[in-house]
Amino acid sequence: MGFDNFRLPVVCFVGRKNSGKTTLMEKVIVGLTAEGLRVAAVKHDAHRFEIDHPGKDSYRFKAAGADTTVISSPAMTAVVLRHREEMPLESILSRFVEGVDIVLAEGYKASPFPKIEVHREATGEPLIHPAPHGLIAVATDERVDTAVPQLDIHDSGSIVGLIREKYLRRS
């Protein structure tokens, strides 16, 4: 399932380590939910993460060999799947995301979805790429050489506005 076939708007926040992706995405989520929108957040982890903890029931089930572990309460449900290769964002969205107005993803710079690159001068690093596929804006605290709009990294409202204008026009 490619970007053109996916029914929900998806925007990826990409950037180098410690560029402020999580902080900015968090502020954008606050802004969108304050407008009454329902938001799904997906985080890519380039390293192996562990959500279970030794001694917990779900950890014990996984340690016993379960390929899928689900923990559910009246308020939340979490699914932990073992897989041999990385699951593409499109697969994650089609399998697990429902009942929301928009998806914000941290990472997934190679995905077909629109991207906002987060860039801070303090990292001393250049942009990931001057024009990665699908780049719609750069959120930054300095002037950078790019053909896409540059937004102030400290003004999450302008980023919410861009997302609303491009992807959330209500009929």
Provide the residue ranges of all domains of the chain, joining segments of one domain with +: 3-47+86-167
The tens digit of pLDDT for each residue in 29-76 reads 999 999 999 999 999 987 776 777 788 888 899 889 999 988 889 998
Domain 3-47+86-167 listed as CATH 3.50.20.10 = no
Asked if pLDDT for residue 168 goes beyond 80, the answer is yes
Query: How many alpha carbons lie under 13 Å from residue 114 in its C-beta half-sphere?
Result: 18
CB count in 10 Å sphere of residue 167: 15
pTM to 2 decimal places = 0.87
Contact 39, 100 (CB under 8 A): yes
